[in-house]
Structure 1
Amino acid sequence: MKTGFVSSVCVASFSIALGACAGTPAAFEPKAVSADPAHEGYLSRIDLQLLADAVPPPPAAGSHIEAADRALSATYRALENTDRWLMATSHAEVRSPFALQHFDCSLGVRFDPGQNAAPATARLMQRLFEDSEAASTIAKLRAHRARPVGDDPSREACQRVSDSGRASASYPSGSATVAAAYGEAMAAIAPEHAAAARETGHQIALSRVVCAMHYPLDATTGEALGKAVFERAAATPQFQTDLALARLEYASLKASGKTSPACAAERLALSQKP
């Protein structure tokens, strides 16, 4: 059922409940890539290249797989301007520390970036963001697949998209890669909520499909890459040090008893299907 919410903005009543909108999302721009970009993640350039090389190529143009992927993408137009659409607008923000709020309900705490409540967790997520973005960007350089909003200029996105953003590569989804890595990290931080944390990561990835920024296969491939990034990052001593500190922060947040008022709105939004 359509709700009448306006896309690309955090409508006041919902954003207050959701608690995760960091304002109107910035216009989507493709990221610049250099031959040797500055990198502050857990993984080496060699690690990132190996991860990217393992990503399968996108579906061939005109293939049955591509046709099925496009058809599935089209079904998500039913969610335009619904609560799930507005949640997807919020999920467009995957940078740390703002993205921590997406996991408030699945972990039963309240991450508040305005209060700098979890600096070690934010640092861990930022390093995973760097690794995930780099791996997905390297993979995108091998083959260009257009985005849904690029293939169909009439397709509405739930964030502002520049012309260069519409024309940028879609496969694999960088945001889905980040989201899956985040989900795995939150599962490691709060093992008792592992399934819920991973589901939140999946829903953030799915939001890119809802937003028409990626085809479904772009997102699922990105999620697989994100899990691989996490697995390799988790084997590093630096990650294990950061994880221990993040677990202490989580225990402190849990002991405080603070939770997010967004959870009822989140459950409602997630109940909406195409």
Structure 2
Amino acid sequence: MHRRGAFIVAIAAAGLSACAGTPAALRPQAVQAAAAEAKGYLTGPLIQALADAVPPPPVAGSPTDLADKARSNQFKTLEDSDRWLLATAHAELRPPLALQHFDCALGVRLGSAATPNLNRLMQKLFDDSDAAAELVKARGFRARPVGDDPARRPCQRVSEAGRRGASYPSGSSTVATVYGEAFAALDPERATEARRIAHEIGLSRLICGMHYPSDVAAGEVLGKAVFEAAAAAPGFDADLAAARAELDAVRAAGLTSPACAAERLALATPLP
């Protein structure tokens, strides 16, 4: 099945259809505002409400769970391929280093001290999205593919505790989606490319054996909800404007990533 078709099936099975947009229960106006938290843009109660609106993981042995496991096994064929190597890089999701995943999509060179406002914006968004995903994980445990199959090779170094960690939702996909939405807001002309890379980071977590398709689908929906809520928070617009000025300055400097040719090659790898 074509990769986008597979994701549409996974999202529909989980009751998370992206076609309808962000579910009403996940929109910021559906929850109560409270005093701002120190780390990110969102309040503790708002983060909790966003997490509470995410459906539970698929029941073990259910059709969705079995389909997830069958699909996950297909990704083993990509081990040691160019796409596998790209997935190892995508495992890094903390700013500022993670911002380099979007270099080629945006036509710039990111992840440096030259963009403190951009780095700060993305750190706040990381904190909000990571906190929301962790709250969902704590509510209902689902094992990772590398946890279900101890012989499964992850594409990154994983501790035993990490192998036994919770898979649903994909926190990496949640964070990547928030980054993608933020870059789309910062550079609307390249919004499609930014969102594509965010989705590819989610696919990388499937290739790595760290998440199942339903985990990534849920993470993408949660990430969009987190960004929508953060974008409505006090101070966000000013932070976005400051980050956009830095992005424009970096682009004017003309620096681009030498890794873009390799990325294009890796992303052209057919998925199983």
RMSD of equivalent CA atoms: 1.0
Q: Residue type of the partner of 1:271?
A: A
Cα distance in 2 for partners of 1:74, 1:148 equals 9
Aligned residues: 235
Cα distance in 1 for partners of 2:240, 2:199 equals 21
Q: Within 5 Å, which residues of 2 pair with 1:20-169?
A: 40-113=39-112, 116-169=113-166
SS at match of 2:210: coil
Q: Residue type of the partner of 1:103?
A: F
Cα distance in 1 for partners of 2:49, 2:265 equals 40
Matching residue of 1:270 = 267
Q: Quote how far apart the aligned CAs of 1:162 are.
A: 1.0
SS at match of 2:182: helix
Q: Quote how far apart the aligned CAs of 1:152 are.
A: 0.1
Contact 1:39–1:130 (CA<8 Å) still a contact in 2? no
Any unmatched runs of 5+ in structure 2? 1-36
Q: Does 1:254 align with 2:256?
A: no
Residues 167-220 of structure 1, C-alpha deviations (whole Å, 9 max, x = no match)? 111100111100000000000011110000011111111111110011111011
Matching residue of 1:227 = 224
Q: Residue type of the partner of 2:239?
A: D
Cα distance in 2 for partners of 1:39, 1:92 equals 26
Q: Within 5 Å, which residues of 2 pair with 1:211-226?
A: 211-226=208-223
Matching residue of 2:180 = 183
Contact 2:98–2:111 (CA<8 Å) still a contact in 1? no
Q: Quote how far apart the aligned CAs of 1:39 are.
A: 5.1
Matching residue of 1:200 = 197
Cα distance in 2 for partners of 1:145, 1:39 equals 30
SS at match of 1:170: coil
Matching residue of 2:27 = none
Cα distance in 2 for partners of 1:119, 1:210 equals 32
Matching residue of 1:11 = none
What is the TM-score of this pair, normalised by structure 1? 0.84
Cα distance in 2 for partners of 1:271, 1:42 equals 36
How much identity, in percent, do the aligned residues show?
60
SS at match of 1:141: helix
Any unmatched runs of 5+ in structure 1? 1-37
What is the TM-score of this pair, normalised by structure 2? 0.85
Cα distance in 1 for partners of 2:207, 2:40 equals 29
Cα distance in 2 for partners of 1:190, 1:171 equals 30
SS at match of 1:213: coil
Q: Residue type of the partner of 1:224?
A: V
Contact 1:91–1:102 (CA<8 Å) still a contact in 2? yes
Cα distance in 2 for partners of 1:244, 1:39 equals 21
SS at match of 2:42: coil
Q: Residue type of the partner of 1:117?
A: A
Cα distance in 2 for partners of 1:205, 1:128 equals 17
